[in-house]
């Protein structure tokens, strides 16, 4: 089932007669295009033009509060953003959150995937409950974490030395953001990994256990290697998702103490500063970075088309 | 798998840990929502004084009620449209053979990975000029776009599961193509479509960035964004209770969906590898 | 709480269901503004204030049908209020009529063409009897863009049982704190040291008290000089002394108020709302809670000037009604209500001598005196940027390195003035 969806041969095409091949093929081609057309048009129109427009905006000085000063200034905005310590700070924070949270999620997600897949009691219940962090509105959960870590109202701050307010310090706040991200998105990682787990043939595992391999050895030598495509696909999706982090940081700190992510700093410059030029420049830079990360995963690490897409 | 007493105990303990992981934060928010506002500073996990006041308060707030309406309405419209056009594309991907299929799938992947903030900037300016700012269509368009990749992938998974030969068999038994479609295919496809619709709805319901950027009033602002704009009821009071109550209110429908449709959702998100 | 035009008395559940149904059916129709609509409705967007509802009701009664003010409440934080307003103004939303603006936003909104100039009869009525300092905050390039509603100055609020003779300088305050600390009494001096506008307010007043300023009078160039160095040194010294509360870098106005009310703080530099709050929350402490002028470098300093003004949106469909409504909302009776019930100092001088002010506002003379020398914040349309980058550079106050911080500030503010800077 884990076929390369980019290869057309692998999809079983059923229910088609072996009639005059070319006529049938042509009508099938047309039907295929017609059916895909609406979706393709919507996706291209809603993202394609805005991205082009974004690039155009990034080449202008365009501040909504100074409509008279609008002008074309070439790459000046890029120079401004790329030489700004605020931007690189946000970039570093985003990278830190991405790397740490994805690494932890991989391990934790694998554990939960194993539990969801192999538990012998209450399987339905466990799977259903694990889906709750996936389904809960991110902002709702973020407020829960915010109040849990606020001195006075929170039950978690009681575990810390008195008077400490972790959300108002740079590194503790980032730690809390990472925790919130991990809690929310590990279930999705677990689901993607469970898909990979299901593809490991039982016979191979049985044979290995009969040969005396321990559970740990079976896991390391058989399960993991066979899961590699699923792991890479899961990593790709989660890394890109983590890089785009916004909701959690917005609610927990709103970027105070330099804890902004790249998405949040772009938002502050766009909506707070009404500076469309700078905001667009950041948007384009973020887009390029995301494309780079995807490129690295697909070409360098050899990730094949993953099976499920998610925002 | 052997169900020994020891095995059951071990797995039960592990299950319990996983359940705690998933549920403790949710129970915390619920407990906050039932706390009397005067007891917030106590910082206990469970309320020392229970009250419905926070829930009454948010339903008295016209902004929040309108935000709920917006979330439901915009979510439904976006889901219906995404399912309509996504079903067609998924059918083509699952059943037909045509050049350009990898392009469609590649495009879906691209959209799934797209950073939303990169879309907010131009959309803000475009919608401002077109008068779509702070309207339902202004949000519905990006929602559909971001729901489509998930829709196409999940539906194509479900469609691949359907035994299409049954349709041929029904036609050979004398059914018209329409009858074959209606009586054989539709019942087989419906569970998949419903599940995908729920997943797409969750994507729209969950959105925050588009809602706070592309709206400015309760005309189109959805519930998650409205929550973040709550003010306290007096100059000196924090909106903690209202926010917690509102957070629970917007979480309940999703929890219900997820619990009822767990098996199909898991099947959909694991590309059919795990069927329950 | 938001006040929407629902019939009073309808049970919450039914109201909610009706609203939900209305929202669902009305949702796809474009062109219905939020806030109420109707030919006589004037939409007021204001920060949360307890008595504004009563003031608006009174104005509605006196309008005799000429207009009906509908109150829409903005979020509590000034930054959030601004974000809401400018976004709608940038989208040319016609649903805004009268806007309650913080004093620092006048230049920005006027320059962008989003608020209307007050002219003729309306301007004359707005100027009559108004104190000059607040009037200046509603003016940009010589034209009046906003009518002053309330003003605000910070004073030194102290516990007379701990500090019978309050000092007039920051170094004096540090010494007092050291003395109190040695005696084992509460010794924290609460200042707004969190990374937000309040920190910039502190810095600005220190620079003004030292005789300098941040920007040139036309708002085009950075003017930071030796007085800025003095200000930075003072901030650093204060933040590292016995007077500094450990959570100073998280302290905003409310936190400072709570610290003194709970007994942790010995004194605070804050706006007069703390007096109304003390009267309500801890009336037992009220008679030992006194005020003194804002401390300076070598003597009393120049207090920060705050407050709120009323402006009329450029996209309002009924500007005449809006101007009249705004004039009523800020007239003498309204200002007196706001002063007595919410602790908001009036901008019309005569109100200070109105009956009832003496009891509820014992510090009015101190306020009037402070207003004579109060230091407004720099006047520039890019004030939001200037403030954000300044707050970021000055935080936390204990890590200020005066020469280096000054250099950084100069560079960042210069960029901000050109809208060239990146906001954090």
Return the minimum-mean-pLDDT range out of A106-110, A152-156, B69-73, C197-201: A152-156
Mean pLDDT computed over A148-168: 79
How far is it, in rounded angstroms, from Cα A78 to Cα A95?
20
What's the order of all strands across the beta sheet hosting C68-73?
C68-73, C41-46, C98-102, C305-312, C147-153
CA nearest to C423, candidates A281, A182, B189? A281
Residues of C in Cβ contact (< 8 Å) with B232: 48, 76
Global ipTM? 0.87
Burial zone of C179 (CB within 10 Å; 0-12 exposed, 13-18 middle, 19+ buried): middle
Give contacts of C 175-234 with B, CB under 8 A. none
Q: Do B270 and A294 touch (CB under 8 A)?
A: no
Lowest mean pLDDT among A105-109, A118-122, C112-116: A118-122
Q: Which B-chain residues 238-267 have CB contacts (< 8 A) with chain A? A: 240, 243-244, 246-248, 250-251, 254-255, 257-259, 262-263, 265-266
Residue C123 pLDDT > 60:
yes
- Nearby residues of C179 by Cβ (< 8 Å), 6 or more positions away: none
Q: How confident is the model at residue B123 (pLDDT cuts 50, 70, 90)?
A: confident
> In this structure, what token pair is assigned to residue B17?
């840990």
> At residue B276, does pLDDT exceed 80?
no
Give the residue numbers in A contacting C (CB under 8 Å), as ranges. Answer: 61, 63-67, 69, 80-81, 84, 86-87, 89-90, 163, 165, 168, 255-258, 260, 265, 268-269, 271-275, 278
Task: Give which of C141, C135, C134, C97 is closest to C115, Cα–Cα.
Answer: C97
Query: Of C318, C348, C316, which is closest to residue C330 (Cα–Cα)?
Result: C348
Model confidence at B118: pLDDT above 50? yes
The reply to whether residue A271 touches residue C113, judged by beta carbons under 8 angstroms, is no
In tens, the pLDDT along A239-295 reads: 998 999 999 999 998 888 889 999 999 999 988 888 889 999 999 999 999 989 988
B94–chain A Cβ distance below 8 A for any pair: yes
What's the gap in Å between the CA of B226 and the closest CA on chain A?
Answer: 11
Instruction: Give pLDDT tens digits for C38-84.
Output: 678 999 999 888 889 999 999 999 998 899 999 988 887 788 889 88
Q: Do B15 and A119 touch (CB under 8 A)?
A: yes
Give the gap in angstroms from C-alpha C150 to the nearest C-alpha of chain B. 16
> Is B235 within 8 Å of C49 when comparing Cβ atoms?
yes
A34 Cα to chain C: minimum distance (Å): 29
DSSP symbols for B168-226: HHHHHTT--HHHHIIIIIHHHHHHHHHHHHHHHHHHHHH--HHHHHH--STTT--HHHH
Residue A2 has pLDDT above 80, yes or no: no
Q: Name the residue facing C112 among A65, A89, A269 (closest C-beta).
A: A65
- Residue B85: what pLDDT? 93
Going by C-alpha positions, the residue among A298, A182, A187 that lies closest to residue A242 is A182
- Residue of chain C with shortest Cα separation from B124: C91
Could you give the dihedral angle defined by the CA atoms of residues C192, C195, C201 and C205, in that order, rounded to the nearest 10 degrees?
Answer: 80
Which of A36, A127, A136 is the closest to B254 by Cβ?
A: A136
Compare C146 and B51 and report the one with higher pLDDT.
Answer: C146
Closest CA to C314 of C51, C52, C111, C103: C111
> At A163, is the pLDDT very low, low, confident or very high (cuts 50, 70, 90)?
low
CA distance B118 to C144: 39
CA distances from A247 to A89, A141, A241, B110, C423 (A): 18, 10, 12, 21, 19
Nearest to B70 among C23, C93, C342 (CB): C23
Question: Could you tell me if C9 lies within 8 Å of chain B, comparing CB atoms?
Answer: no
Q: How far is CA B262 from CA A123, A195, B21, in A?
A: 11, 15, 18
The better pLDDT of the pair B23, A22 is held by B23
- Report the neighbours of B using a cutoff of 3 or more CB pairs below 8 angstroms: A, C
Closest CA–CA distance from residue B97 to any residue of chain C (Å): 39
Pair C345, C128: CB distance under 8 Å: no
8 Å CB contact of A284 and B118: yes
A283: chain B residues, CB-CB within 8 Å: 115, 117-122
- Considering only alpha carbons, which residue of chain C is nearest residue B140? C28
Split at pLDDT 50, 70, 90, the class of A4 is very low
Contact by Cβ (8 Å): A195, A157:
no
Q: Does A130 touch chain B (CB under 8 A)?
A: yes
Distances (CA, A) of C356 to C136, C291, C337, C342: 28, 20, 10, 14
Instruction: Please say if the pLDDT value at position B160 is more than 80.
Output: yes
Nearest to C52 by CA among C361, C328, C245, C267: C328
What is the Cα–Cα distance from C299 to A25, expressed in whole angstroms?
Answer: 92
Nearest Cβ partner of C27 from B59, B70, B229? Answer: B70
**Which of C146, C137, C91, C73 lies closest to C326 in space, CA to CA?**
C146
Q: Phi and psi at residue C357, in whole multiples of 5°?
A: -70, -35
User: Once rounded to an integer, what is the mean pLDDT over residues A48-58?
Assistant: 89
Kindly state the DSSP code that residue C187 receives in the 8-state scheme.
-
Q: B30 and chain A: CB distance < 8 Å anywhere? A: no
Q: How many angstroms separate the CA of residue B128 from the nearest CA in chain C?
A: 6
CB C207 within 8 A of CB C228: yes
Give the residue on B whose Cα is nearest the Cα of C77.
B231
User: Which of B153, B31, B16 has the alpha carbon at shortest distance from A130?
Assistant: B16
Residue of C nearest to A62 (CA): C419
pLDDT in tens, B225-267: 998 888 765 555 678 888 999 999 999 988 888 888 888 888 8
Identify which has the larger pLDDT, A7 or C136: C136
**pLDDT (mean) for C208-234:** 92
The pTM (predicted TM-score) of the whole model is 0.83
- Could you give the angle at the alpha carbon of A277 between the alpha carbons of A274 and A278, nearest 5°? 80
List pLDDT tens digits, range A61-91: 888 888 888 889 989 999 999 999 899 999 9
Residue C351 zone, left/alpha/beta (φ > 0; ψ -120 to 50; rest): alpha
Say how far apart CA C119 and CA A253 lie, in whole Å: 43
* Interface contact A35-B89, CB threshold 8 A: yes
List the single residue in A80, A256, A268 with the smallest CB-CB distance to C420: A80
- Number of A/C CB contacts below 8 angstroms equals 72
A239, exposed or middle or buried, with CB in 10 Å at 0-12, 13-18, 19+? buried
Smallest Cα distance from A86 to chain C, Å? 5
pLDDT value of position C7: 37
pLDDT in tens, C236-290: 999 999 999 888 888 888 889 988 988 889 999 999 888 888 888 888 999 999 9
Start-to-end CA span in chain B (Å): 16
Q: How far is A303 from chain C (nearest CA, A)?
A: 35
Q: What is the pLDDT of residues B84-108, one digit of tens each?
A: 999 989 988 888 888 888 888 888 8
Q: Which position has the higher pLDDT, B85 or C20?
A: B85
Partners of residue B73 in chain C, C-beta under 8 Å: 23-24, 27-28
Interface of C with B in 244-273 (CB under 8 A): 254, 273
Quick one: what percent of chain A has pLDDT higher than 70?
90
Task: Chain C: give the shortest CA distance to residue A278, in Å.
Answer: 7
Angstrom distance (rounded) from CA B120 to CA A280 = 9
Cβ contact (<8 Å) for B128 and C91?
A: yes
Residue B133 near chain C (CB below 8 Å): yes
* Integer angstrom CA distances of residue C271 from C211, C339, C367: 22, 13, 10
Of B258, B203, B197, nearest in space to A128 by CA: B258
- Cβ distance of C1 and B61 shorter than 8 Å: yes
**Portion of chain C with pLDDT greater than 90, in percent:** 62
Q: Which residues of C touch A (CB under 8 A)?
A: 79, 83, 86-87, 90, 108, 111-113, 194-195, 246-247, 249-250, 381-382, 384-385, 388, 392, 395, 415, 419-424
| Residue entry with tokens 């991907």 | B93
CA B94 to chain centroid, in Å, comes to 24
Residue range C334-359: average pLDDT? 89
* DSSP tally for chain B: helices H, then strands E: 13, 0
pLDDT at C5 over 50: no
A292-295, long-range: CB < 8 A, 24+ apart: A293/A239, A293/A240, A293/A243, A294/A236, A294/A240, A294/B113
pLDDT at site A304:
64
- Residues of chain B neighbouring A192 (CB-CB closer than 8 A): 269-270
Under 8 Å between Cβ of A108 and A186: yes
pLDDT at A206: 86
Partners of A36 on chain B (C-beta within 8 Å) are 88-89, 92-93, 100-101, 104
> Cβ B15–A311 below 8 Å, yes or no?
no
- Distance in angstroms (rounded) separating the CA atoms of residues C178 and C157: 18
Q: At C88, list the tokens.
A: 């709608």
Report residue C162's pLDDT band, with 50, 70 and 90 as the boundaries: very high
- B28 and A121 within 8 Å at the Cβ level: the answer is no
Mean of the per-residue pLDDT values for chain A?
84
| pLDDT for position A72 | 92
Whether residue A271 and residue B213 make contact (CB cut-off 8 A), yes or no, is yes
Judge: C34–B219 Cβ closer than 8 Å, yes or no.
Answer: yes
């Amino acid at each position: 089932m884990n076929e390369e969806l980019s290869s057309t041969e692998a999809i079983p095409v059923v229910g088609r007669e072996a009639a005059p091949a070319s006529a049938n093929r042509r009508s099938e081609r047309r039907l295929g295009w017609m059916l895909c057309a609406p979706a393709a048009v919507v996706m291209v129109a809603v993202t394609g033009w805005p991205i082009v427009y974004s690039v155009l905006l990034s080449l202008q000085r365009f501040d909504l509060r100074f409509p008279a000063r609008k002008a074309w200034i070439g790459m000046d905005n890029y120079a401004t953003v790329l030489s700004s310590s605020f931007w690189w700070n946000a970039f570093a924070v985003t990278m830190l959150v991405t790397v740490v949270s994805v690494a932890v999620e991989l391990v934790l997600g694998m554990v939960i995937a194993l539990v969801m897949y192999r538990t012998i009691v209450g399987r339905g219940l466990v799977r259903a409950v694990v889906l709750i962090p996936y389904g809960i509105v991110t902002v709702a959960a973020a407020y829960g974490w915010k109040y849990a870590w606020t001195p006075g109202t929170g039950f978690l701050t009681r575990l810390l030395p008195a008077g400490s307010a972790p959300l108002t310090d740079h590194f503790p706040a980032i730690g809390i953001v990472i925790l919130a991200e991990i809690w929310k998105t590990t279930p999705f990682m677990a689901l993607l990994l469970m898909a990979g787990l299901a593809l490991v043939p039982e016979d191979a595992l049985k044979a290995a256990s009969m040969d005396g391999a321990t559970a740990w050895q079976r896991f390391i030598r058989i399960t993991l290697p066979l899961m590699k495509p699923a792991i890479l696909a899961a990593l790709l999706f989660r890394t890109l998702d983590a890089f785009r982090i916004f909701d959690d940081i917005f609610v927990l700190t709103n970027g105070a103490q330099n804890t902004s992510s790249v998405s949040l700093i772009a938002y502050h410059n766009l909506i707070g500063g009404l500076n469309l030029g700078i905001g667009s420049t950041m948007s384009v830079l973020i887009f390029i970075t995301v494309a780079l990360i995807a490129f690295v995963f697909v070409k360098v690490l050899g990730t094949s088309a993953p099976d499920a897409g998610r925002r | 798998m052997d169900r020994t007493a020891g095995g059951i105990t071990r797995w039960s303990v592990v299950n319990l840990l996983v359940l705690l992981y998933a549920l403790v934060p949710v129970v915390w928010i619920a407990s906050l929502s039932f706390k009397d506002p005067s007891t917030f500073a106590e910082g206990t996990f469970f309320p020392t004084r229970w009250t419905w006041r926070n829930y009454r308060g948010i339903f008295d707030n016209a902004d929040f009620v309108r935000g709920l309406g917006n979330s439901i309405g915009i979510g439904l419209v976006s889901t219906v449209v995404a399912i309509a056009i996504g079903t067609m594309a998924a059918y083509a991907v699952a059943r037909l053979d045509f050049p350009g299929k990898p392009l469609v799938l590649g495009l879906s992947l691209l959209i799934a990975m797209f950073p939303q903030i990169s879309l907010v900037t131009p959309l803000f300016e475009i919608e401002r000029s077109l008068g779509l700012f702070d309207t339902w269509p202004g949000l519905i368009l990006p929602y559909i776009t971001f729901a489509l990749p998930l829709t196409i992938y999940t539906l194509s998974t479900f469609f691949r599961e359907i035994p299409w030969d049954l349709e041929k068999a029904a036609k050979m038994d004398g059914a018209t193509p329409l009858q074959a479609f209606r009586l054989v295919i539709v019942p087989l496809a419906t569970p998949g479509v419903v599940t995908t619709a729920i997943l797409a709805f969750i994507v729209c319901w969950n959105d925050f960035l588009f809602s706070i950027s592309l709206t400015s009033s309760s005309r189109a602002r959805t519930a998650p964004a409205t929550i973040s704009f709550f003010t306290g009821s007096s100059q000196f009071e924090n909106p903690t209770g209202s926010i917690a109550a509102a957070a629970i209110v917007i979480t309940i429908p999703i929890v219900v969906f997820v619990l009822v449709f767990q098996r199909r959702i898991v099947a959909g998100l694991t590309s059919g590898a795990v069927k329950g | 709480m938001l006040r929407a035009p629902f019939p009073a008395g309808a049970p919450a559940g039914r109201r909610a269901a009706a609203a939900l149904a209305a929202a669902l059916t009305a949702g796809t129709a474009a062109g219905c503004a939020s806030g109420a609509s109707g030919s006589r409705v004037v939409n007021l967007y204001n920060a949360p204030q307890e008595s504004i509802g009563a003031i608006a009701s009174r104005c509605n009664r006196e309008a005799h049908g000429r207009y009906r003010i509908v109150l829409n409440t903005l979020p509590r934080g000034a930054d959030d209020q601004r974000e809401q307003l400018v976004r709608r103004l940038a989208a040319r939303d016609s649903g805004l009529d009268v806007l309650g603006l913080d004093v620092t936003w006048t230049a920005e909104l006027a320059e962008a063409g989003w608020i209307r100039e007050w002219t003729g009869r309306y301007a004359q009525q707005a100027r009559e009897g108004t104190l000059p300092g607040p009037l200046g905050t509603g003016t940009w390039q010589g034209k009046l863009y906003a009518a002053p509603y309330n003003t605000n100055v910070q004073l030194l609020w102290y516990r007379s049982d701990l500090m019978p003779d309050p000092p007039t300088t920051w170094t004096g305050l540090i010494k007092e704190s050291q003395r109190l600390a040695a005696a084992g009494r509460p010794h924290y001096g609460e200042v707004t040291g969190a990374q937000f506008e309040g920190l910039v307010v502190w810095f600005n007043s220190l620079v003004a008290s030292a005789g300098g300023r941040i920007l040139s009078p036309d708002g085009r160039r950075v003017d930071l000089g030796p007085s800025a160095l003095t200000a930075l040194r003072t901030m650093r010294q204060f933040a590292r002394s016995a007077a500094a509360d450990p959570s100073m870098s998280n302290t905003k106005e409310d936190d400072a108020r709570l610290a003194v009310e709970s007994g942790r703080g010995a004194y605070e530099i804050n706006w007069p709302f703390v007096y109304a709050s003390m009267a309500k929350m801890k009336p037992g402490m009220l008679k030992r809670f006194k005020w003194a002028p804002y401390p300076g470098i070598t003597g009393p300093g120049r207090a920060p000037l705050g407050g709120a003004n009323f402006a009329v949106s450029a996209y309002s469909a009924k500007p005449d009604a809006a101007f009249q409504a705004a004039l009523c909302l800020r007239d003498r009776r309204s200002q007196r209500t706001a002063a007595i019930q919410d602790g908001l100092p009036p901008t019309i001088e005569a109100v200070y001598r109105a009956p009832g002010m003496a009891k509820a506002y014992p510090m009015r003379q101190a306020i009037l005196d402070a207003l004579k020398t109060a230091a407004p914040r720099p006047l520039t349309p890019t004030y939001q940027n200037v403030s954000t980058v300044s707050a970021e550079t000055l935080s936390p106050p204990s890590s200020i390195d005066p020469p280096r911080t000054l250099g950084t500030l100069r560079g960042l503010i210069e960029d901000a003035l050109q809208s060239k800077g990146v906001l954090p």
